């Protein structure tokens, strides 16, 4: 897979677009015996680059404007998965004139791996699964992915909460949390992470003997959140704590099934479904539609 970047000027604003061209059939249908990326580089150097420059010049002349368009080879990828616009994963084997071995330069954009709050455990395992998929390519079997997920889930239950919780920052705490002392009251439409922070403060207020050890969460703090194993429908389903300060004495138990589904299975489903594979349920069975 070849990624070409198209940069041009429009109304004095620099615009950068990307086009992706498949060369699989070209490589497999010719007598080229060397590295496929070398063939792509030669096609670009001796044919594609000049052809596009001529096409851009003709386009500009037809519209009686100066040509400001430029098209250059940005990278070559052995494999790629596109989830949506500006959301993709690429196994780059050539970038900025530097060669890379297969699976040594896996890059991504717009997915959970690119988000700072993604838990450490999820980041490690999602990348491991992506490399597995890229290594197998079209031979990837959903059952193999499920078996890996089952292995990860067993490890997940043994990991520290810091590695399982999602990171974020909090603002406007006082706008949403109406009471976190005598009772727990929140405003309508309170964001999940703010609700989780309020629940932490409420439990800390209830266990005031720990206030010398743990600080209250306030607007501007960096927190981590996880889904709680609740006992009743009225109990809170999310809990937060300050990064690096897990309150083991009063923190509610983690709902491992829900948390694993949210941070591991859901992101992997977005990848496998883009590949045309069935959805994997949070119970690690294949979900199939009745219609």
Q: 257 with 275, same domain?
A: yes
Query: What is the reported pLDDT for 9?
Result: 39
Please name the helix (run of DSSP H) or strand (run of DSSP E) that holds residue 28, with its range, or none: helix 24-29
List pLDDT tens digits, range 83-122: 988 899 999 999 989 999 999 999 999 999 989 999 999 9
- 231 pLDDT above the threshold of 70: no
Q: Give the chain's domain count.
A: 2
CB contact at 8 A, 201 and 217: yes
Which tops the pLDDT comparison, 287 or 145? 145
Instruction: Give the model confidence (pLDDT) of 134-175 as tens digits.
Output: 998 777 788 999 999 999 999 999 999 999 999 999 999 999
Tens digits of residue pLDDT in 22-78: 888 888 888 888 899 999 999 999 999 999 889 999 999 999 999 888 888 899 999
Contact 159, 121 (CB under 8 A): yes
Given this model, what pLDDT does residue 1 score? Answer: 42
Q: Please give the average per-residue pLDDT across 245-262, as a whole number.
A: 96
- Whether 117 and 258 map to the same domain: the answer is yes
| Model confidence band, residue 232 (pLDDT cutoffs 50, 70, 90) | low
Distance CA 162, CA 174 (A): 26
Q: Does residue 226 share a domain with residue 205?
A: yes
Q: What is the pTM (predicted TM-score) of this model?
A: 0.84
| CB neighbourhood size of 103 (10 A) | 16
Higher pLDDT, 48 or 217: 217
**CB-side exposure of 65: number of CA atoms within 13 Å?**
11
Angle between helices 142-156 and 120-136 (to 10 degrees): 160
| Model pLDDT, residue 121 | 96
Provide the domain limits for residue 91: 2-110
Q: Is the CB of residue 79 less than 8 Å from the CB of residue 140?
A: no
DSSP conformational letter for 137 = G
Q: Are residues 258 and 130 part of one domain?
A: yes
In which element (H, E) is residue 81 found? strand 70-84
What are the two backbone dihedrals, phi and then psi, of residue 82, each rounded to the nearest 5 degrees?
-110, 120
Cα–chain center distance at 131: 14
pLDDT of residue 223: 97
136 and 268 fall within a common domain: yes
168 and 94 within one domain: no
Instruction: Identify the CATH number of the domain in which residue 25 sits.
Output: 3.90.1600.10
Residue 130 pLDDT more than 90? yes
């Amino acid at each position: 897979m070849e990624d070409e970047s198209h940069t041009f000027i429009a109304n004095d604003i620099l615009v950068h677009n990307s086009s992706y061209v498949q060369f699989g059939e070209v490589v497999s249908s010719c007598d080229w015996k060397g590295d496929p990326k070398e063939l792509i580089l030669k096609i670009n150097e001796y044919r594609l680059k000049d052809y596009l420059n001529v096409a851009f010049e003709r386009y500009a002349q037809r519209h009686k404007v100066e040509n400001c368009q430029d098209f250059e080879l940005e990278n070559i990828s052995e494999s790629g998965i596109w989830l949506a616009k500006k959301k993709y994963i690429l196994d780059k084997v050539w970038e900025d004139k530097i060669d890379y071995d297969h699976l040594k330069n896996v890059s991504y954009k717009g997915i959970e791996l690119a988000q700072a709050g993604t838990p450490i455990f999820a980041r490690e395992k999602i990348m491991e699964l992506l490399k597995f998929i890229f290594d197998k390519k079209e031979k990837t079997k959903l059952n193999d992915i499920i078996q890996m997920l089952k292995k990860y889930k067993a490890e997940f239950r043994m990991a520290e909460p810091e590695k399982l919780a999602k990171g974020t920052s909090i603002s406007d705490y006082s706008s949403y949390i109406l009471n976190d002392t005598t009772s727990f009251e929140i405003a309508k439409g309170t964001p999940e992470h703010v609700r989780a922070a309020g629940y932490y403060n409420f439990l800390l207020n209830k266990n005031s003997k720990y206030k010398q050890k743990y600080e209250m969460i306030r607007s501007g703090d960096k927190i981590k959140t996880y889904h709680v194993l609740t006992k009743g429908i009225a109990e809170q389903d999310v809990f937060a704590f300050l990064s690096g300060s897990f309150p083991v004495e009063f923190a509610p138990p983690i709902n491992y099934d829900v948390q694993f589904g949210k941070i591991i299975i859901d992101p992997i489903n977005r990848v496998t479904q883009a590949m045309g594979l069935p959805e994997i349920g949070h119970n690690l069975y294949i979900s199939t539609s009745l219609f």
